[in-house]
Amino acid sequence: MKKIILIGVILLTSCKTLFTNKTPLKPQIKKVFNEGIVFADNEFDGARLNGLKKVNDSTYQVYIKPENTPINKSPWYSFRIWSKEPTKILLEFVYPKEYKHRYIPKSSFDGMEWMPFEKKDYDIDTLNKKLKLDLMLGPKKRWISAQEIYNSKFIWNWIDSLSQKDFINQEVVGKSVYGKPIKLLRIKKQTAKNAVVFIGRQHPPEIPGGTIALMSFVQTILADTEVAKKFREKFEVLVFPLLNPDGVDNGNWRHNANGKDLNRDWISFAQPESKSVRDWLINSREKGVTSEYRFGIDFHTSRSTYLLVLDSIPKKVKPNVTNQWIKNIKLLRNEKLDIRPRSQSLPYCYNWMINQFGMEAVTYEDGDEVDRNVVRKRAEDYATELMKVLNDKFE
């Protein structure tokens, strides 16, 4: 069994790679770095900066390291940079040599509004895949980040803003390695006799699919449309929007604070984050606190947009929601979908859902650099079509 799991996993790419024998996690030293007239810091949640070096009068380097190794080759970086007086510099990004550049840099002056750099402002060395960025600096701090910063504070503020409605509540279901809360957002009307489960941000850098798409799904379900109103009468929505708060706030490339990949923990449950979600879902179902789980989505980001689905839906699982949903989406959006079946023996969250509860589930992946309005619209369409199918198939 173990051999099959390993072979299966090694064949997968991007967000889906399994590693063993990891080195212990080294916490990032939080500080203001200074070289010549240039300053840079990592003193905010989500930051990742391990060093700054002046090479010559106009060239500087930032050093970026992973939390532990081995790890996916996806360097996450995020820092603020400024200078005493206005100056133009070339900023080189230096990762340990086995890691190639992945994310197009984004810029912000307030940490909230973000813009990707234009192609003319950066160069990616095709041989070494290192990033060089032309930058104008001044005394105003400028954020440079692999993706927008959607850290725990941002996500908790978002669920607080939703919890004003009387049918929406929050619960803390457990604690992370560093003691941060694992929160559940619960949308529940008294009439609901079924439930869906959404999981977000097991992997820290996965902003577009892991947070932006998840938020759009939830907002579509809370909208004042006929399909959403009917859905909320029938379905409770259980949203775990941030499974890995330690990894997210510490600017980890991939792992939790134990240096482990949470989306490889859904068989062994050795990590407190995945274990607390498992325990809550099982206990609540056993006690009748929640209704029967009908569908689950685990939200992620990869280099492209696709769905991971179950390689076979067991006959005992009726009715078949996934296939109908995919058909409807193709029709609505008039596009080909990238659907990737995966063995149910893999230790992924969505596989656990079907193995544990017999509920259908998918892993939803959006692309790193997809325009954020396109990410939101795709999620809105997928959510609308999912609600229609579930409304039809369940009482």
Alpha carbon of 133 to those of 67, 90, 120: distances in Å? 24, 6, 9
- Residue 258 CB contacts under 8 Å (≥ 6 apart), including other chains: 25, 177, 271
Q: Is 203 in the site for Zn ion (CB under 5 A)?
A: yes
From the list 7-15, 132-140, 241-249, 288-296, the region that binds Zn ion by CB under 5 A is 7-15
CA dihedral in degrees (315, 320, 210, 230; nearest 10)? -140
In the block, which residue shows the tokens 């023996």? 345
Nearer residue to Zn ion within complex by CB, 89 or 262 = 262
User: Token pair for residue 16?
Assistant: 């889906």
From the list 2-10, 112-120, 295-303, 354-362, the region that binds Zn ion by CB under 5 A is 295-303
Closest separation between CB of residue 11 and Zn ion, Å? 17
Q: Is 300 in the site for Zn ion (CB under 5 A)?
A: yes
Nearer residue to Zn ion within complex by CB, 183 or 203 = 203
Closest separation between CB of residue 169 and Zn ion, Å? 28
Closest separation between CB of residue 202 and Zn ion, Å? 6
From the list 13-21, 224-232, 242-250, 305-313, the region that binds Zn ion by CB under 5 A is 13-21
Q: Is 342 in the site for Zn ion (CB under 5 A)?
A: no
From the list 35-43, 139-147, 293-301, 387-395, the region that binds Zn ion by CB under 5 A is 293-301
Closest separation between CB of residue 13 and Zn ion, Å? 12
From the list 63-71, 99-107, 139-147, 206-214, the region that binds Zn ion by CB under 5 A is 206-214
Residue closest to Zn ion (Cβ): 300
C-alpha to C-alpha distance for 135 and 152, rounded to whole angstroms: 29
Nearer residue to Zn ion within complex by CB, 101 or 300 = 300
Q: Is 180 in the site for Zn ion (CB under 5 A)?
A: no
Alpha carbon of 306 to those of 227, 302, 384: distances in Å? 25, 9, 17
Q: Is 264 in the site for Zn ion (CB under 5 A)?
A: no
Closest separation between CB of residue 341 and Zn ion, Å? 17
- Residues found near Zn ion in the complex (CB under 5 A): 15, 203, 206, 300
